[in-house]
Structure 1
């Protein structure tokens, strides 16, 4: 990668008024801070700009938090992209939590500010991580006149309805099997902090016994949590190692989302947007890809797997609020109708947004006849959004090349190593050919209403 001068114009615009304050940042960068749009945002333009703007959408943050303007996943990634001549921009959003609705408007406001203060980009690439990956996909679908391509990373691209239904499935199985008489709340959560604390306590106790581990594995399989260790490639095989990986996914990500974040979503959407009426969890287990692991753990614990599946079948079901479902369809569920090239990036063992999201998204795109505009990259690593800077920079470069040439780079088609990194550190780039399992809750929400 060619190294360019790092002198950059940095606009740090924070919620409120329109004034700016100039300063000199690291590496000789000029910085300007101020207030506009009701949301903080950041713009960086290198001295030798190549004409391409990267608009970054950040991921989920606690509703009580305040995010600064964020224009890249990390400063290391930002520095590399500025050195390559890309301009960077991104909002901190006017609200946090499941703020997809606000993020869409805030990001378009950043584009307007960039054009007014810097100039019109030759091309604009939308990109983002986690919830920001979903925002990215929606921006590209709904505003193809503003974006020439998109890079959603580690996003819940099956759509909000499916993602939260999967989380409901896991939480429902978790409570029914492990703590049916507890105060743990699956929906209508009154105190999210206390609810997550209770869920973690239940999980810790369950992990200490063979029976508890078996039931944790069943609930994890129903939610399609990965069986890889979050720290990297799994080097241990067998059901115990897989269950340990799933427990780590529960502890590190899923419990907080399932038993905590739902409270904020319900308040925002005007009710619970998830349901499990009519769901057959025995069938869900069959579709999960983890049936053999669960069966072995149940056998080792001396438990009756069919008996627990029967318990799940008999447990009273939960219905959704139609208004809340419609809100989540709008903010946000991608349709899969593409008008610009989209390149997705996902680890093969993401415990927060399962790679099954990519299978669902690809199916939606194919149903619309737009598969030529979609390519999907996978990284042989566990964890949520655990990409190296090199992998993210390579993905940006590949998408930019696709826009410029009209063709996908050969290494993307082959899911191989980019030529520039063939001789680099082996751990820096771990792209791999991978086909994710289908999501266990298939179907568009318009045909799966509660």
Structure 2
């Protein structure tokens, strides 16, 4: 069972609140607490076109309760959507930690609240960012054709699903310990690396960064690293494919989010495995493969994680994705995984994918966000699916307003997911959940997310 403590916060609002500076003179903003205790933010432009964007944020953030500031920060980051005349509604989730279906439920609760408080929008679009792309895609599939959404924009999406979408971080956790021997240290109690950390560990993110620095010198200029540090860093990066600039954040996820997922959501069961994976690219692959810690997943943990976060591909409405080719956090090959999942469900006609030459994860060009929403809205009205070239052609008109650049790469096609992340040979993996299995599991008492 992928579980969570029950939420206790009372519903409140929406109450008028300050808007981000970019829309302060052109919109009215509100804040409140949803029915499960999730804080939310809403913005309605003075010249509202009648359509709504419902935002699902990334993460997952860690913490006990709902973050009252997260949705307000997201409104600021994507205020371009309000500037384009869309109302915007974004929910902080009811608690920190993993839970794709929980986050999807909080997102849907906010859509219903908006309709009740502000009236039914002419059209409603989902926007999922990063892990929120997984949340939004799961919400679309679970709601079905008449679920209240006309289309979805998934940006920088983690679309491989939880049962395989974090395998490169599993590899990082194991490979890092092979080279560094300090997470845990020999003087500390040992534990299986798939846990991330023991449940009661007091290690902090700052202390983890200190250990990473000790082993690799990642935060120092190359000329200040020792020979051993440089060799460790070279091997870890070459074997895992993790970019140097995001090494610390990936190791942080493979430590603290893994702990949350394993101990708080899966009752201590292991959803991860690396047995049978052959690591390559190091100075001595034979020694690495002989010495790295190996482990196999608990099939029931994989089952429950798959139910919570894996996708069937049965999208009921048009979905447009936008992804930077050099995304250092959610590798662009997540798009290949999603493309194959949607193709397996025979819904390819409802998916359009676009790629840019940008190198960031959390924020792309405002012109591209505006262009993407306009193309998605046109697609839902006319039935004409946008193409990479049509998106590249239409973007400059928005860039005249936002001056943030149009960076589309119309000819780019990402490699397969397996070309970036080593498959788990012989392991328990559920790469694409069938609709039949989803229906069957949804009827099993205790499987899935608790409130």
TM-score, length-normalised on structure 1? 0.77
Instruction: Find the residue that maps to 1:187 and give its secondary structure.
Output: helix
Q: Give, in whole Å, the separation in 2 of the partners of 1:331 and 1:39.
A: 19
Report the Cα offset of residue 75 of structure 1: 2.1
Aligned counterparts, 1:6-17, within 5 A:
15-17=9-11
Alpha carbons 1:271, 1:321 under 8 Å: kept:
no
| 1:273 Cα deviation after fit | 4.0
Alignment of 1:420-431 (within 5 A): 420-421=397-398, 428-431=405-408
Structure 1: segments with no counterpart, 5+ residues: 1-13, 226-245, 286-290, 299-304
Equivalent of 1:307, from 267, 278, 286? Answer: 286
Aligned residue number for residue 8 of structure 1: none
Q: Are the aligned partners of 1:273 and 1:328 in contact in 2 as well (CA < 8 Å)? A: no
Alignment of 1:63-102 (within 5 A): 63-64=63-64, 66-68=66-68, 70=71, 73-75=74-76, 77-78=78-79, 80-102=80-102
Report the secondary structure of 2:203's partner residue.
helix
Decide which of 270, 274, 280 is 2:271's aligned counterpart.
Answer: 274
- Shift of residue 397 of structure 1? 1.6
| Equivalent-residue separation in structure 1 for 2:129 and 2:406 (angstroms) | 18
1:27 paired with 2:5, answer no
User: What is the distance in 2 between the residues matched to 1:32 and 1:448?
Assistant: 38
Matches of 1:195 and 1:71, distance apart in 2: 26
| Secondary structure of residue in 1 paired with 2:258 | helix
1:405/1:322 CA distance change after superposition, 3 Å: same
CA distance in 2, matches of 1:158, 1:366: 14
User: What TM-score results when the alignment is normalised by the length of structure 2?
Assistant: 0.77
Structure 2 residue aligned with 1:330 = 307
Q: What is the DSSP-based 3-state SS (H/G/I as helix, E as strand, rest coil) of the residue aligned with 1:138?
A: helix
**Per-residue Cα deviation, 1:139-194 (whole angstroms, up to 9, x for no partner):** 12221322111111112101111122221111111111332764586233125662
Cα gap change, 1:363/1:36 in structure 2, threshold over 3 Å: closer, same or farther? closer
| 1:344 matched residue in structure 2 | 321
Q: Kindly state the Cα deviation for residue 381 of structure 1 after the two structures are TM-superposed.
A: 2.0
Aligned counterparts of 2:28 and 2:360: Cα–Cα separation in 1: 36
Mean Cα deviation higher: 90-99 or 181-190: 181-190
Q: Compare 342-351 and 32-41 and name the one that shifted more.
A: 32-41
State the superposition RMSD in angstroms.
3.1
CA contact (8 A) 1:192 1:259 kept: no
User: Aligned residue for 1:116?
Assistant: 116
Q: What is the match of residue 357 of structure 1?
A: 334
Task: Flag the 1:339–1:218 CA change in 2: closer, same or farther, 3 A.
Answer: farther
Name which of 404, 407, 411 aligns with 2:381: 404
CA contact (8 A) 2:133 2:154 kept: yes
1:446 aligned residue: 430
Paired with 1:432 and 1:272, the residues of 2 have a C-alpha distance of 42
Query: Does the 8 Å contact 2:26/2:46 carry over to 1?
Result: no
Q: Show the counterpart of 2:259.
A: 263
In the TM superposition, what are the counterparts of 1:143-162 in structure 2 within 5 Å? 143-144=143-144, 145=146, 146-162=148-164
Give the superposition deviation at 1:119: 1.8
* Structure 2 residue aligned with 1:288: none
Q: Figure out how many residues of one structure are paired with residues of the other and give that number.
A: 394
Offset at 1:130? 1.4
For residues 77 and 313 of structure 1, do their structure 2 counterparts lie closer, same or farther at Cα, with a shift above 3 Å needed? Answer: same
Q: Deviations over 1:215-239 (max 9, x none)?
A: 43443344332xxxxxxxxxxxxxx
Q: How does 1:192-211 map to 2 (within 5 A)?
A: 194=203, 196-197=205-206, 199-204=208-213, 205-207=215-217, 208-211=225-228
Distance 1:195 1:317, change over 3 A: farther
Work out whether residues 27 and 46 of structure 2, in 8 Å CA contact, stay in contact via their aligned partners in 1. no
Q: Is the Cα–Cα contact under 8 Å of residues 222 and 281 in structure 1 kept in the other structure?
A: no
In structure 2, what is the Cα distance between the partners aligned to 1:44 and 1:374?
28
For the Cα contact (< 8 Å) 1:192–1:260, is it kept in 2? Answer: no
Report how far residue 357 of structure 1 moved: 1.0
Whole-Å separation in 2 of the counterparts to 1:18 and 1:351: 38
Q: Is the 8 A contact 1:42 1:71 kept in 2?
A: yes
- Residue 219 of structure 1 is aligned with which of 236, 250, 257? 236
Question: What are the Cα deviations for residues 27-49 of structure 1, in whole angstroms up to 9, with x where unaligned?
Answer: 26445554441211222222333
* Alpha-carbon spacing, 1:316–1:152, altered in 2? closer, same or farther (3 Å): same
Deviation, structure 1 residue 199? 4.4
For residues 221 and 413 of structure 1, the distance between their equivalents in structure 2, rounded to whole angstroms, comes to 37
Cα distance, 1:368 vs structure 2:
2.2
Structure 2 unaligned regions, length at least 5 = 1-7, 218-224, 434-451
1:254 is aligned to 2:282: no
- Does the residue aligned with 2:194 lie in a helix, a strand or coil? coil
Check conservation: 1:388, 1:428, Cα contact below 8 A: yes
Is this contact kept in 1: 2:12–2:33, CA < 8 A? yes
